[in-house]
Structure 1
């Protein structure tokens, strides 16, 4: 503050916004340009810049991975593109990940090397945050720019730290629709969440997902369900105080991770989780009940014709009805047809 007479221009950058807590604050005259249209491309790499400035880098990366230029561009877009800082923003690529990819000539989850989001996970647990909202979260501009209520609402920090970004804008209600920016963030965040919500260590969680995928691909439904039962049996009591929410969150994480290796679709509503998982040879239609019966779950699949859209597909159709028990804090029974 005492150097004001020498300062002509100053730019402050960081992960989360610096709050103006008082009219007497030394930094109360800052101009926040985070969401201004004129500066939407200032902190990243646009697609035009990637294809022009990094043209040779894209070619070399493709050659090192036996990919065409077009395949390389598509892979870079899937992994590292998708950040938006305004409703009219062009796609912004993550510069840290892009530069590391070019330097090492391999695709990887480089962003998570900068740190682990332990604070965010604990914040979401403390808020009782439903993880399914990560796929389509809603927020106003004022909420995204503030941190005052973050202990009750983790969305501002999830946005400001890059785990969520603007996907769409509802001009009528002046509301932003948020979601994961790209595959790198989504995949990395889900892999981090699984041990945090199940009490497993990272290596156990990684091998657990690998075995789940193998069970599904081999048509071994009973093995899959036994493995799922083990997941919940190993969950520490303190992680499951709100059992219904915890159950839904773990299932969301698991099937999101399965979706990176198979086609996994999920639809959640009050008290139930419906899953459709597709592999090369099988299509699974699953219905989960909470404190009901496996028979009721199977009956719902049959009565509502959940499997009807897949009956002419050609792949083997497997129906699975599952009941989860509050008392047992685990899967109680399942039926396979």
Structure 2
């Protein structure tokens, strides 16, 4: 626009007056203007054109720039935006800078030793246990292509150290884990099938460092660059990515849940108390609350077709609370559908589906027999074991029977 051109002219006049190597330019989230118009093809092109003009101006006056540093989540058409600014050094996947965006274990112990002692006393944990809990909750981010350097999320760690008496809360999601680019993307896209929620995913390293336009965005690439997925290991030129820690896996489950429940969360559909009932060991309440969640599913985009669908959805719902449900847990005689620990109680769930015309009572008997025959959950040394069978009606879209297996 004319106004934009005028601003660039004023900026150019300003830059030409500066001495050589006198200007430091720091730009955080350079992609933010593009994020707001990610679903507007015309607007996206105009913003990209304006950004290209701005960076071309910096390039033509590079004599005055001593240091230029940019951060951003998405490399939208990186080459077209920065085609003029071609002397940038992309350090996104460089092992040399792998610890730049978080705290390492060494840094945590060296610079936060007094805070760790204080937190340990306030929470009644020894320091070894505390460090282990912090690692599971906030560590695991990897930003370099060798997958050797892991770091803690700095914001979450600092928030915990400031108020350790509050426990290990989900600070990352509260402070920006629900990134604007992801929210805009989700307005016109759905996330992957819930069956893929906990699976390790793969992506070419070139897709993480190369350019991409709106139409070429993949949810795996987007989630990796937004911090939900992180590099776990690398084989040849393929990165295998997954959730870095419990905090992020819980946040991701919340996003999945909002998609699955058509924009609502478990509180809004009346199912949030399931976490309390799991800790209390109240099987009947768990049955009722899971039904509230399943009856609220957006069946157009997330149809429930089989046992694996039921299992995957239950895993996502339970993960929202910071629990770590595991599916297909093996022992020497078979495998259970889903297991989850809630305090001193270890839950084992066996799901069966019943189609139109089939007997739910027969399915219940089959499931109970399977749990007993395969000794589900018996391999664990736990204080309290609850084994529960649930029968899901594909026609009724709800659980119709349940029973505990003694």
TM over 0.5: yes
Partner of 1:250: 313
Give runs of aligned pairs for residues 221-236 of structure 1, distance below 5 A: 221-236=283-298
Say if 2:218 is the partner of 1:153. yes
Q: Kindly state the Cα deviation for residue 177 of structure 1 after the two structures are TM-superposed.
A: 1.7
> How many Å separate the matches in 2 of 1:96 and 1:312?
36
> How many Å separate the matches in 2 of 1:95 and 1:283?
34
TM-score (norm 2): 0.67
Partner of 2:152: 93
Q: Secondary structure at the match of 2:221?
A: helix
Partner of 1:275: 338
Q: Secondary structure at the match of 1:204?
A: coil
Q: Secondary structure at the match of 1:93?
A: coil
Q: Secondary structure at the match of 1:139?
A: strand
Say if 2:95 is the partner of 1:37. yes
> How many Å separate the matches in 1 of 2:67 and 2:182?
33
Q: Kindly state the Cα deviation for residue 123 of structure 1 after the two structures are TM-superposed.
A: 4.4
Give runs of aligned pairs for residues 1-337 of structure 1, distance below 5 A: 1-17=59-75, 19-22=77-80, 25-86=83-144, 87-105=146-164, 106=166, 107-115=168-176, 116-117=178-179, 120=182, 123=185, 126-127=189-190, 129-135=192-198, 136-146=200-210, 147-148=212-213, 153-171=218-236, 174-199=237-262, 201-202=264-265, 204=267, 208-209=271-272, 211-236=273-298, 240=302, 242-244=303-305, 250-257=313-320, 260=323, 264-267=325-328, 274-277=337-340, 280=344, 283-289=347-353, 291=355, 294=360, 295-296=362-363, 298-299=365-366, 302=369, 305-307=373-375, 310=378, 318-325=387-394, 327-334=395-402, 337=405
- Bigger drift between 295-304 and 39-48 goes to 295-304
The count of aligned residue pairs is: 326
Q: Is the 8 A contact 2:147 2:231 kept in 1?
A: no
Please list every run of 5 or more consecutive structure 1 residues that lacks an aligned counterpart in the other structure. Answer: none
The structure with the larger Rg is 2
Q: Secondary structure at the match of 1:189?
A: helix
> How many Å separate the matches in 1 of 2:127 and 2:380?
37
Change (3 A) 1:96 1:90: same
Q: Kindly state the Cα deviation for residue 247 of structure 1 after the two structures are TM-superposed.
A: 5.2
Q: Kindly state the Cα deviation for residue 196 of structure 1 after the two structures are TM-superposed.
A: 4.0
> How many Å separate the matches in 1 of 2:379 and 2:401?
25
Q: Secondary structure at the match of 1:307?
A: coil
Q: Is the 8 A contact 1:85 1:165 kept in 2?
A: yes
Q: Secondary structure at the match of 1:9?
A: strand
Q: Kindly state the Cα deviation for residue 164 of structure 1 after the two structures are TM-superposed.
A: 0.8
> How many Å separate the matches in 2 of 1:79 and 1:31?
32
Q: Kindly state the Cα deviation for residue 212 of structure 1 after the two structures are TM-superposed.
A: 2.0
> How many Å separate the matches in 2 of 1:154 and 1:334?
36
The alignment yields a C-alpha RMSD, in angstroms, of: 3.6
Q: Kindly state the Cα deviation for residue 58 of structure 1 after the two structures are TM-superposed.
A: 2.3
